[in-house]
């Protein structure tokens, strides 16, 4: 009898052991699940941190192979066949509502952006958040200019500035002040030359920005190579050049009063007087022009956003009063 009871006890113990194993396995899985969720959260945070760091170091890295402070246009590149540009979280670079020159052919060459009427000393702001790629001087073109690369894939160019207020490789946010309007470089009057580039290729800013209404054209814009030319022409028709000179501050700013700036106020006051211009001839210098026009080199420099060491070129237009 004792042996029989012993065998029954062993059998029951084995049965309980077999029955209890699935439950233990389920308990183990249940305990492991929160750990897996925590690890997944950690992985997500690490991935997000890596993406943010890469974006900080090189915005829109999926479009651009490298980061260079040398050239504005990357001519070897092409527009993507389809690319959606996020235009949210923007700031208009200037409160000016007047476009004085369109994107496209002009005077036998390509004009790669829009010219926006501003006065010398006007505040110029970053259109989107991003990283400053270029801060340079180009005496035969942009004058003092800035290029910023943004996380939405765009690069924006700000030309003919009187002063640059940021440095290369500096991070900026949409709306940050980056410079002051001017008349430097190849320019015949104070204005902002504003370009938008995608993958290093100029894109008509009128497709994206509506200066007349101080707004972007939508939350997103999709670049499509097949329809780009037609859409660009329509954008110029709708949001391009306004009038043909004789702009007043009221026309430029509408109801949006610009910030007070002594330099700007000086130019606005002088603009009410008659303006006179001189076309540079071969062999002329700033000194000879100043004597001929009964003015001073300092005045010529002030009116044209140049300095006394600047070289004038035959055919260049200089304002002398």
Name the pTM for this structure: 0.65
Instruction: Give the Å distances, CA to CA, from 113 to 40, 194, 251.
Output: 46, 5, 21
The pLDDT of residue 278 is 78
Which of 210, 175, 206 has its CA nearest to residue 97? 210
Residue 289 contacts residue 314 (beta carbons within 8 Å): no
Going by DSSP bridges, is the β-strand pair 277-279/317-319 parallel, antiparallel, or unpaired?
antiparallel
Domain locations in the chain as residue ranges = 82-250, 274-319
Positions of the chain with pLDDT under 50: 19, 257, 259-274
The pLDDT of residue 7 is 54
The pLDDT of residue 54 is 57
Whether 274-319 and 82-250 are alike in CATH topology: the answer is no
The pLDDT of residue 105 is 82
CA-atom Rg of the chain in angstroms: 31
The pLDDT of residue 106 is 76
- What is the per-residue pLDDT across 143-163, written as a single tens digit (0 to 9) for each? 999 999 999 999 999 999 999
Which of 114, 116, 141, 117 has its CA nearest to residue 267? 117
CATH entry, 82-250, from 2.70.70.10, 1.10.10.10, 3.40.640.10, 3.30.930.10: 2.70.70.10
- What is the per-residue pLDDT across 258-303, written as a single tens digit (0 to 9) for each? 544 444 444 444 443 445 777 788 888 898 888 888 889 988 888 8
The pLDDT of residue 262 is 41
- Tell me which CATH homologous superfamily contains domain 274-319: LysM domain (3.10.350.10)
């Amino acid at each position: 009898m004792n042996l029989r009871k012993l065998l029954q006890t062993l059998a029951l113990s084995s049965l309980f052991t077999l029955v209890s194993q699935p439950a233990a396995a389920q308990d183990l899985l249940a305990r492991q699940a929160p750990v897996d969720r925590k690890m997944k959260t950690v992985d997500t945070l690490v991935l997000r941190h890596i993406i943010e760091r890469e974006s900080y170091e090189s915005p829109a890295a999926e479009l651009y192979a490298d980061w260079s402070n040398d050239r504005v246009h990357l001519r070897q590149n092409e527009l993507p066949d389809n690319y959606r540009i996020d235009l949210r979280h923007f700031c208009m670079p200037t409160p000016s509502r007047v476009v004085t020159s369109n994107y496209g052919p002009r005077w036998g060459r390509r004009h790669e952006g829009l010219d926006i009427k501003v006065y010398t000393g006007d505040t110029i702001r970053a259109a989107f958040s991003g990283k400053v790629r270029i801060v340079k001087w180009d005496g035969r073109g942009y004058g003092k200019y800035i290029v910023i690369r943004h996380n939405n894939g765009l690069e924006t160019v700000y030309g003919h500035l009187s002063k640059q207020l940021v440095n290369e490789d500096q991070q900026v946010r949409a709306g940050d002040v980056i410079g002051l309007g001017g008349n430097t470089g190849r320019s015949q009057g104070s204005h902002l030359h504003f370009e938008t580039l995608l993958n290093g290729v100029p894109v008509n800013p009128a497709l994206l920005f509506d200066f007349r209404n101080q707004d972007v054209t939508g939350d997103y814009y999709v670049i499509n190579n097949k329809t780009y030319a037609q859409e660009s022409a329509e954008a110029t028709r709708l949001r391009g050049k306004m009038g043909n000179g004789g702009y007043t501050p009221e026309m430029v700013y509408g109801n949006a009063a610009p910030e007070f700036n002594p330099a700007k106020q000086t130019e606005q006051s002088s603009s009410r007087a008659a303006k006179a211009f001189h076309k540079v001839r071969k062999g002329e210098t700033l000194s000879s022009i100043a004597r001929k026009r009964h003015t001073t080199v300092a005045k010529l420099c002030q009116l044209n956003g140049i300095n006394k060491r600047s070289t004038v070129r035959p055919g260049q237009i200089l304002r002398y009063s």
